[in-house]
Structure 1
Amino acid sequence: MPQTKDAAHAPIALRDACIVAAREAIAEHGIEQLSLRDVARRLGVSHQAPYKHYPSRDHLLAEVMRRCFEGFAAHLDARGQFDDPGDDLSALGRQYLDYAHRHPLEYRLMFSTPWPASAAHPDLVRDAAHAFDILRQVLRRVHGDTPQQQALVDLDALYIWSSMHGLAGVMTGNCIGQLDLAPGVLEQAMRHVMSRIGSGMAAP
């Protein structure tokens, strides 16, 4: 477990160390095998120590997932800013796929893992919604930021999100290398999907 010179900071170090150990456990053995006992063993602390910060395994998992969404949103925000909302939307798509490629474990935790049912997780809800709101913000620049346009913003957000999620799943899956695709298709896939999304949004 990471140590600090100031004893007052030790609880914070343990809280964060539990997250690191939990991610390692999930990466090695899958989410089904995650337990506070295993986390304690990995950190070399008593079996009861993690319970000071996480009342249950579900509370720990909820915090792991929350931090994944937090990092995901930060990655989306790091795309840079563009005056043209269409360019901004394309940049957002590139960042989405880049995150899925660079962080496959975190991506699976966010989008392929049922949320822990027995843990109260308002912070997880907040950070997951924030990642989705980044897309909404760009679409408000496209459609306008009036109450009348909110339904269209949400519909297009779901349309784009599901399209990028599907593409990310295909691009990171085992099947993609067995499809005998024409040369250059994979390199063009993201631009092609974003172009189709743009055409779909422009249609009456």
Structure 2
Amino acid sequence: MNKKSVPAPSLKEACVQAAREVIAEHGVESLSMRDVARKLAISHQAPYRHFESRDHLLAEIMRRCFADFARHLDGRPRTGQPEADLEAMGHAYLAYAREKPLEYRLMFGTPWPEPAQHPELVQHAVHAFDLLRESLRALHRDQPDAPAHVDRQALFIWSTLHGMASITQADVMQHLQLAPGVEPALAGDVMARIGLGLGLPCEVRAA
């Protein structure tokens, strides 16, 4: 096969896109620099011009996923009311997981490359979590133990939403024979139960 030449400015983006296609087709375990080069019909050494290793390429893809996820959460509608804004973030989280399942699995279902070698990946991942913390801080400004309280609640919310997002994407869902109306109301029900767990006002939980 004749190897083609990809212009240097676009080679990095071409490698990222090809890697995403390999992951989508065969899973992240199958990702290799050789497969990326083969998909682009370029020299096996060409991807190394921008990425030191397969893990560096994967880290860049995951970094972009977390950055996109944070933009999605940050772009949710704002009302200025902490409870309503927190609920909107929850719905935005679930919408992202539903609309971008590949990106969601890469962020939360893929073993990370060595974090010490990829500080930008860590930075973007923590930023996404900090958006949830910021929403909760608005609810607990007057509490002396607010930092620890916020962290506990943030982990509670995250684990609940992640559980729902993961199970609704699982193949088993289509075999559960749920009662009519349960699945369409699931997101609202979960958000209401999160509100109950946080001790939010009843009118917020029923929204």
TM-score, normalization: structure 2? 0.89
Structure 1 residue runs of 4+, over 4 Å off?
none
**What percent of counterpart residues are identical?**
55
- Alignment pair present for 1:199 and 2:196: yes
Q: Deviations over 1:27-46 (max 9, x none)?
A: 11111111111111222221
Query: What is the Cα-based RMSD across aligned positions, in Å?
Result: 2.0
Q: How far off is 1:118 after superposition?
A: 8.2
**1:35-46 superposed matches below 5 A:** 35-46=32-43
Equivalent of 2:74 in 74, 77, 86:
77
Q: Deviations over 1:8-54 (max 9, x none)?
A: xx433111111110000011111111111111122222111110110
- Alignment pair present for 1:107 and 2:96: no
Which sections of structure 2, spanning at least 5 residues, go unmatched? Answer: 201-207
Q: Deviations over 1:127-147 (max 9, x none)?
A: 000110110110011111777
Q: How far off is 1:109 after superposition?
A: 0.7
Separation in structure 1 between the aligned mates of residue 126 and residue 116 of structure 2, nearest angstrom = 18
- In structure 1, the residue corresponding to 2:126 is in which secondary structure? helix
Q: Which amino acid aligns with 1:158?
A: L
Structure 1 match to 2:180 = 183
- Alignment pair present for 1:153 and 2:150: yes
Separation in structure 1 between the aligned mates of residue 116 and residue 58 of structure 2, nearest angstrom = 9
Change beyond 3 A, Cα 1:139–1:29: same
Q: Which amino acid aligns with 1:109?
A: L
Query: Which deviates more from structure 2 when the two are superposed, residues 123-132 or residues 146-155?
Result: 146-155
Separation in structure 2 between the aligned mates of residue 85 and residue 195 of structure 1, nearest angstrom = 15
Structure 2 match to 1:14 = 11
Structure 1 match to 2:203 = none
Equivalent of 1:120 in 101, 117, 120:
117
Query: Which deviates more from structure 2 when the two are superposed, residues 186-195 or residues 111-120?
Result: 111-120
